[in-house]
A and B are shown apart, each in its own frame.
Chain A
Amino acid sequence: MFRKICLALLCITFGMVMVFAADTTAQVDAWGKAVKKTYGGMTITIAATSHPAADSIRAMEKDFTALTGIKVRWDSMEEGLLRQKLLMEHQSNTGVYDVMMIDAFNLAEYQPSGVALPLKPLIDDKKMTPSWYDYNDISAAFRNGVGGYKDVVYGIPIAGETRFLGYRTDLFKKYGKQVPKTLAEMKDLAEFFNGKEPGLYGIAMRAQRGIHFASGWMTLMYSLGGEFLDQKTWEPTCNTEGTIASLEYYVDLLKSAPPDVGVYTHEEAISAFMAGKTAMWLDATAIAPWILDPSKSKVYNKVAFAPPPAGPAGDFGVMAGWSIGISSDSSKKQQEAAWAFIMYMTSKSNAKKYVIGGGTPTRASLANDPDVMKAHPYLPAMILALKSADNLVKTGRTWIPAHVKAIKVLEVAGEFGSRVQAEELTARDAMDQAQAQCEQIMAEQ
């Protein structure tokens, strides 16, 4: 009897899911027809960067054009250049781009001059955003931490990411080593593996002068008791004991990295790890699929992932990522066509397709989906890393300080940090100089 009831319940559930899916498909088709009628034949231009999220969206572009008749033109560039281009195009009010990828790092900079269009009016408009889109299904942490700034939504998160540790399981097994739980253990392991085998180094991270150096350093900085800005008073804190100690730790750690790490961005760091040159790698979760791709990586079948180790000041992970937004400079009709594109690509109905195609899961409904887990075996480690990121938020701070001048401060800190790594200055001298410059930056009107 019990089995019969269970079977009946299962059939009903399955039936409901099928009906819901069919219903959603019909709704999407109806929406597509309506969009085609108004915006069909238009072309929208996207300012993008090289990222697995962009690749996944691009793979769905044909379906979107077939459904809506809106053509899509891509302009892909390096992420630093993307930021400059968006700022310059906005200053010149050219309206060249309709859709743009927005690094959460840059939202504070885009906000004052209004580079991106606030999206809440579009999200709340039932005509523009049907219920099957389900905005609230996107994890709140990503909605606010990646796509929003000062309670205004500027982008829909497409790559909510954190940072975690990738390590070589074969080497750890061979030498009987355990996954590091603390930053001290991680440094010991990096030193242990450095030169342990011919051509092997301890760890790969990003350390190119400027923002890349600051970004790599910030991965560990909060856990080591450092920060660049006091996020309550907005006073620079570059030369506090905690910040100096975190810089000294990072520079020491980089001594176990390949010798030209001083010119490494995230691309060179992951390339060194994928080429089997380092035992560990600590960087963005969004690019982890590359490591597991046999066509790109030599170590695809001998890696595992773990959350970033905790430090003496706590266990504070990283919350960063990319969102996709609309330029405030394009015409109203272009903006509406751009929203149709964004909505289609980030909708609940396409979420699974997007994730399996290489995008990062940002929706709560996909958190335990078996197909998604199979496509992204690193997800459990990423979820743990996101919990570490929550720890930082609980202290009232964000990983990227939410201030319009934060990026300038990071640029200065990264410049001086790199000079310490190049042995031009001691950590204390460098941070004293950085402090003076950052105080000047914060004081400027």
Chain B
Amino acid sequence: MKKLPAHYAFIMPSVVLLVLIVIFPTVFLYYISMTNYDMTVGWGAKHFVWFENFMYLFLKDPLFWKSLGLTLVFVSVSVSCELVIGMVVALGLSRLNRGKRILVSLIIIPMVCTPSIISLMWKLILNTEYGVANYLLSLLALGKVNWLGTGTALASVILVDIWEWTPFMVLMLYAALQALPEEPFEAAVVDGAKKIQIFFYITLPMMMKLALIALTLRLIDAFKVFDTVYGLTQGGPGSATELFSMRIYRTGFQHSNWTGRASAFAIIMLLIMSPLFLRVTRLLRDR
């Protein structure tokens, strides 16, 4: 019998772990998505429905396409704002001579808090009647804002996400700025380049790769945001904040219990996000 190469023994624990926590659940997800499994009825009562769950979502679910649209709006607005604000703050931080450490420590507080706690905290802050946000507005003699109303709830969810995740962008971009070599900047100054020219022609291109990684990671994270919406609005009022992951949760767990249908939903989400995963992998490999 041919002896297996020695390195197989070393990689085997990782492979076993990968199969247990990644491959098996994913295969299981595909399997469940083709059944009518319902947690309240039990495992024994399920049967194969093949692609019926997918057809239901595409053709019959009244909120599938709307939740996809809302998620795209949420992702594009929140991540762009986080990127721009993150870049501004990171540039500001890199120019500071004193107090950088304290400032960075303070900035990362929202990011290290538990998202569900953050959403409950913001639900209180944004309460129209006894929330701090409207109290502060009243001090400025501005009227009450119905932060979690039909027309404003999505903007409020975006606001909370920006507050929570801009520090991530700041940290990533600040790290990228710190890693840049000094010589090109010194040469540009000698050649008489303006600050804006230095930023667009030297700083930005040189930190582009890390910025793209940060952006893609945030895109993935924002696409599957759940805790914030769950705590703040539960997808309401109406369907104003019914983002994709909230819709999956509602379908699979919140009284509907259509676990099979929710699994189909999750697979669609996985397929949408796969190109982003591939992008990050490629960027990391090229770096």
Contacts and interface: CB of A to CB of B under 8 A. Distances in A.
A209 B150 CA distance: 12
Given A209-B235, A421-B238, A113 B147 contact: no
A277 B130 CA distance: 9
B239 A424 contact: yes
B250 interface: yes
B149 A260 contact: yes
A367 interface: no
Which among A84, A109, A259 has the highest number of chain B CB atoms within 10 Å? A259
A362 interface: no
A431 to B, nearest CB: 13
B218 interface: no
Given A263-B236, A268-B127, A408 B255 contact: yes
Contact of A259 (B41, B130, B146, B235): B146
A262 interface: yes
A279 interface: no
A423 B149 CA distance: 11
Given A88-B39, A444-B36, A423 B150 contact: yes
Contacts of B153: 262-263
A410 interface: yes
Given A87-B39, A113-B40, A433-B62, A209 B237 contact: yes
B198 to A, nearest CB: 47
A272 interface: yes
Contacts, number: 114
A443 to B, nearest CB: 12
Contact of B254 (A80, A88, A109, A422): A80
Contacts of B123: 263
A210 B41 CA distance: 21
Contacts of A268: 127
B148 A263 contact: yes
Given A260-B127, A262-B150, A407-B255, A421 B237 contact: yes
B35 interface: no
B146 A260 contact: yes
Interface residues of B, number: 36
A229 to B, nearest CB: 14
A268 B233 CA distance: 12
Judged by DSSP, the binding face of B is loop
Contact of A418 (B39, B149, B238, B254): B238
Contacts of B235: 209-210
A424 B146 contact: no
Contact of A419 (B45, B146, B239): B239
A404 interface: yes
Interface string B82-121: 0000000000000000000000000000000000000000
Contacts of B239: 209, 415, 418-419, 422, 424
Nearest to B235: A209
A258 B147 CA distance: 12
B129 interface: yes
B234 A209 contact: yes
A110 B130 CA distance: 38
Interface string A277-303: 100000000000000000000000000
A407 B150 CA distance: 25
Contacts of B146: 259-260
A343 to B, nearest CB: 29
Contacts of B39: 87-88, 91, 113
Interface in B32-89: 36, 39-43, 45, 62
B234 A210 contact: yes
Which among B40, B232, B250, B254 has the highest number of chain A CB atoms within 10 Å? B40
B30 interface: no
B255 A211 contact: yes
Given A208-B234, A408-B256, A423-B238, 6 more contacts: A201-B129, A209-B237, A258-B129, A260-B127, A404-B40, A419-B239
Closest 9 CB pairs of A and B: A422-B238, A262-B237, A209-B236, A411-B255, A259-B146, A419-B238, A422-B150, A422-B237, A113-B42
7 contacts: A113-B39, A210-B236, A260-B126, A260-B146, A421-B237, A421-B238, A444-B36
